[in-house]
Amino acid sequence: MSCGPPIGETRPVVAARPGTRVFAGTVVGDVMDVVTTIADLRAALAPARARGAAVGFVPTMGYLHDGHLTLARWARRDAEVAVASIFVNPTQFGPDEDFSTYPRDLERDRALLADVGIDLLFAPSVEEMYPTPLRTFVEVPHLSSILLGAMRPGHFRGVATVVAKLFGIVQPSRAYFGEKDYQQVMVIRRMVQDLSLPVEIVPVPTVRDADGLALSSRNVYLTADQRRAALRLNQALAEAKTAVERGITNPAALEDHVSRFIAEEPLAKIDLVAVRDADTLADPGDQLPDRILVQLFVRFGRAQLLDHIVIPRPDGGGR
Ligand code: PAF
């Protein structure tokens, strides 16, 4: 088991598989199997597993954008068998959150994944994943209760539990997650490390639109004005980097500087601007850490958007 590189310093995945795409002993071309039950998924993967093929896995909640497809491309390039899942997981949504209205389009997603060359799509129902009320949960204390976890109590418990369950079902050798959800990657890595799960977590850099907006399935909630206003986030991260490079040294001052910059945009409602240690998510106190995480949670209309940057401390943090 390896935990891979630090998030924010991801190295490219080395292509490891030969040109011809073979799945379960058959050349599959752009054909992709879709299974909806755990039994069918296991049966479909059994031949690949028997010959020791590396399985790359991309768990998603669907409504795919190029960020997801980048994960899928990495999995495709890296593993002999590439599996994706689409499951809008109810246990990671709070009672007042958007589970029922979360955007869904399985047919479109299926075509996109087939295009990228994913071999197998697992798209279970809620009943298949949770046939009886869940009595076992995976908790990653502390990491799950700070930042986004403080705003969405229970969210990371739901994420860790479903990801552990998906890992148990798919048994991948590598799993790919977007760095955009920085805290989620930290939580999952910690879970994998603590439970000695035999899977490498591969963080994939955030994919942005040409104008800088980080891709998110929830961008679909934005009106044209809100979308334009949301560009402030990426600009705020650039502003944070400039402030650090120009010598700001106090984390609270950096948070304040970035918050003021975002607040100049009238459509932005700041939930949280946080400066943290990028390796631990710890509050750095009055000294910037070696790797500075600037994490933004900002609402535009009904969409809470997340974005972040990791900035190395210019003086190298005394190392
Ligand atoms: O990032 C997501 O889309 C979800 O949190 C995940 C990892 C698929 C678990 O439901």
Q: Which atom of ligand 1 is nearest to the CA of 159?
A: 9
Ligand 1: which atom is nearest the Cα of residue 178? 1
Token pair, residue 173, equals 């050798």
Pocket test for ligand 1, best of 163, 166, 215, 219 (most atoms within 8 A of CB): 163
249-261 average pLDDT score = 98
What's the CA gap between 94 and 193, in Å, rounded? 27
Domain edges within the chain:
21-204, 217-312
Query: Is residue 308 annotated as part of the catalytic site, yes or no?
Result: no
Q: What is the DSSP string of 125-190?
A: -HHHH-SS--------TTTTTSTHHHHSTTHHHHHHHHHHHHHHHH--SEEEEETTSHHHHHHHHH
CB of 181 closer than 6 A to ligand 1? yes
Our answer on whether the CB atom of 163 is closer than 6 Å to any ligand 1 atom is yes
Which pLDDT tens digit goes with each residue over 93-116?
999 999 999 999 999 999 999 999
CA–CA distances in Å: residue 82 to residues 59, 103, 229 = 11, 24, 37
> What topology is assigned to 217-312 in CATH?
Pantoate--beta-alanine Ligase; Chain: A,domain 2 (3.30.1300)
| pLDDT tens digits, 23-41 | 444 434 456 999 999 999 9
Domains 21-204 and 217-312 share a fold: no
- Say what the pLDDT of residue 29 is: 43
Query: If pLDDT is split at 50, 70 and 90, which confidence band does 317 have?
Result: low
Q: Quote the pTM value.
A: 0.90
Q: What's the CA-to-centroid distance between 28 and ligand 1, angstroms?
A: 27
Q: How far is the CA of 242 from the centre of ligand 1 (A)?
A: 32
Q: pLDDT digits over 111-164, tens only? A: 999 999 999 999 999 999 999 999 999 999 999 999 999 999 999 999 999 999
pLDDT in tens, 37-55: 999 999 999 999 999 999 9
Class of domain 21-204: alpha beta
For residue 60, the ligand 1 atom closest to its alpha carbon is 8
188 lines ligand 1 (CB under 6 A): no
Structure tokens that stand for 299 in this block: 């609402």
Where residue 13 falls among pLDDT bands split at 50, 70, 90? very low
Residue 26, SS3 per DSSP: strand
Nearest protein Cα to ligand 1, atom 1: 60
Q: How many Å lie between the centroid of ligand 1 and the Cα of residue 226?
A: 24
59 lines ligand 1 (CB under 6 A): yes
